[in-house]
């Protein structure tokens, strides 16, 4: 029978000085980015930040104004898209509605003029790989959203590209199916091993799927790192704000010390205290303290404004003395342990979770 597609040799991608200007606006502003061989790298950023433009320049559909693009050691900036041997899944799937599933998947192979029986074999293999074995003769209109997404994926991998590009491929699916497909796409990547550049504006999706994430804003690379590093040690306020939920409190700095809400902050030793720094407060890093000072713990006084039960956790909103609202997320616990709305409480933030960020 047909074996699913096996692991192929992958290629690193090296992007240097990639720039694209539309009118006067920089869609890409001197992007330097290296994607490791076999890596799953995600471009994450808000709408209009340049993610699609960058992906399209890698695929060859958009011509940058300047910059270099290498697949392995080979400069490909002047290579037309069909010669780059890159598999691509578009946001809209871009399937041919009048063709069968098999016809759609065969398309890139027909373009490459492969013999008929080899095409049939490869199509069936690609269908097995995306778990749609036996669906070849169906019409596209007969498929669900998730199945169409798999057909688009099968078409992208059917010629066994060494680089796979995906532009928000799950954005049209509902939450449950999307989460299921995130895991499935990641498994497929691990099985096939092709260098993958994935685009999303959904930070949770990026954190779930990626080896590394490149955060993009206004055509510029804001930070490149592993999910945990981005979440725990964001390089600047934009990244801290875009990934996870945070409240930012202004910090006054005096020499090597930083104060927040009148109190001296106990900071990890490697903290750089810059001008215009903010303290990043993540809801799940805050905890209720009994009141007395504790070593290695920064304290904040406040009053509970609201408590919202959210099933898997409890979200408590707290007002600090100056009225600044902050959120604390804690595990669902018995009501007896939760102070009531209106209670004065002390919040603690451990020294190692005390992170300062600045605008640049």
Per the structure block, which two tokens stand in for 140? 């596209």
Neighbours of 81 (CB within 10 A): 15
**Cα→Cα distances 172→99, 144, 149, 311, Å:** 21, 11, 9, 26
Residue 57 is a binding residue for Mg ion (CB under 5 A): no
- Binding range to Mg ion, per CB under 5 A, among 35-43, 49-57, 140-148, 298-306: 49-57
Decide if 278 contacts 259 (C-beta within 8 A): no
Looking at residues 4 to 23 of the shown chain, list those that interact with ligand ADP (rule: CB under 6 A): 22
**Minimum CB–partner distance for residue 200 and Mg ion (Å):** 9
**Cα→Cα distances 162→78, 165, 192, 356, Å:** 19, 10, 9, 40
**Minimum CB–partner distance for residue 268 and ligand ADP (Å):** 33
**Minimum CB–partner distance for residue 52 and ligand ADP (Å):** 3
Partner touching 49 among Mg ion, ligand ADP, none, CB below 5 to 8 Å by kind: ligand ADP
**Minimum CB–partner distance for residue 65 and ligand ADP (Å):** 12
Residue 223 is a binding residue for ligand ADP (CB under 6 A): no
Neighbours of 138 (CB within 10 A): 15
Residue 52 is a binding residue for Mg ion (CB under 5 A): yes
Partner touching 47 among Mg ion, ligand ADP, none, CB below 5 to 8 Å by kind: ligand ADP
Looking at residues 225 to 244 of the shown chain, list those that interact with ligand ADP (rule: CB under 6 A): none
Expressed in angstroms, the distance from the first to the final Cα of the chain is: 57
The beta strand positions in 202-309, using DSSP E, are 212-217, 220-225, 247-250, 252-254, 257-260, 263-264, 277-281, 286-289, 297-309
**Minimum CB–partner distance for residue 271 and ligand ADP (Å):** 32
**Which DSSP helix (H) or strand (E) runs through 146?**
helix 145-157
**Long-range pairs of 319-326 with CB within 8 A, sequence gap ≥ 24:** 320/249, 320/261, 321/261, 322/261, 324/247, 324/249, 325/247, 326/247, 326/249, 326/281, 326/283, 326/286, 326/300, 326/302
**Minimum CB–partner distance for residue 169 and ligand ADP (Å):** 13
CB-wise, 29 or 353, nearer to ligand ADP? 29
Determine the Cα–Cα distance for residues 205 and 117; give it in Å rounded to an integer: 38
**Cα→Cα distances 300→18, 22, 262, 324, Å:** 45, 47, 10, 11
**Minimum CB–partner distance for residue 261 and ligand ADP (Å):** 37
Binding mask 101-140 for Mg ion (x = CB under 5 A): ----------------------------------------
Looking at residues 39 to 58 of the shown chain, list those that interact with ligand ADP (rule: CB under 6 A): 45, 47-53
Looking at residues 104 to 143 of the shown chain, list those that interact with ligand ADP (rule: CB under 6 A): none
Residue 217 is a binding residue for Mg ion (CB under 5 A): no
Residue 67 is a binding residue for ligand ADP (CB under 6 A): no
Partner touching 50 among ligand ADP, Mg ion, none, CB below 5 to 8 Å by kind: ligand ADP
Residue 49 is a binding residue for Mg ion (CB under 5 A): no
**Minimum CB–partner distance for residue 36 and ligand ADP (Å):** 22
Binding stretches for ligand ADP (CB under 6 A): 22, 25, 27, 45, 47-53
């Amino acid at each position: 029978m047909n074996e699913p597609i096996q692991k192929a040799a992958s290629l690193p991608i090296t992007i240097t000085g990639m720039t694209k200007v539309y009118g006067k606006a920089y869609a890409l502003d001197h992007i330097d980015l290296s994607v490791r061989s076999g890596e799953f790298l995600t471009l994450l950023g808000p709408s209009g930040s340049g993610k699609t433009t960058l992906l399209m320049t890698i695929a060859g559909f958009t011509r940058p104004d300047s910059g270099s693009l290498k697949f392995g050691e080979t400069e490909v900036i002047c290579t037309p898209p069909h010669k780059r041997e890159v598999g691509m899944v578009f946001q809209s799937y871009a399937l041919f509605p009048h063709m069968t599933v098999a016809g759609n998947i065969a398309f890139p192979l027909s373009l490459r003029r492969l013999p008929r029986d080899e095409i049939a074999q490869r199509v069936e293999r690609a269908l097995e790989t995306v778990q749609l074995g036996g669906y070849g003769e169906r019409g596209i209109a007969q498929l669900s959203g998730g199945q169409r997404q798999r057909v688009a994926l099968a078409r992208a991998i059917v010629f066994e590209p060494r680089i796979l590009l995906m532009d928000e491929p799950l954005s049209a699916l509902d939450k449950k199916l999307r989460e299921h497909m995130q895991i499935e796409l990641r498994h497929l990547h691990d099985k096939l091993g092709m260098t993958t550049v994935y685009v999303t504006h959904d930070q949770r999706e990026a954190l779930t799927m990626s080896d590394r994430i490149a955060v993009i804003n206004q055509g510029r690379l804001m930070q490149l790192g592993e999910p945990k590093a981005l979440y725990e040690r964001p390089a600047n306020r934009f990244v801290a704000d875009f990934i996870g939920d945070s409240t930012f409190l202004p910090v006054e700095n005096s020499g090597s010390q930083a104060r927040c809400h009148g109190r001296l902050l106990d900071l990890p030793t490697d903290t750089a205290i810059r001008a215009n720094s903010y303290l990043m407060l993540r809801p799940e890093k805050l905890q209720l303290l009994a009141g007395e000072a504790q070593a290695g713990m920064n304290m904040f006084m406040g009053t509970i404004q609201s408590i919202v039960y959210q099933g898997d956790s409890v979200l408590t909103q707290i007002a600090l003395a100056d009225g600044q609202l902050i959120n604390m997320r804690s595990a669902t616990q018995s009501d007896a342990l939760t102070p009531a709305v209106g209670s004065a409480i002390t919040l603690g933030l451990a020294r190692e979770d005390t992170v300062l960020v600045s605008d640049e």
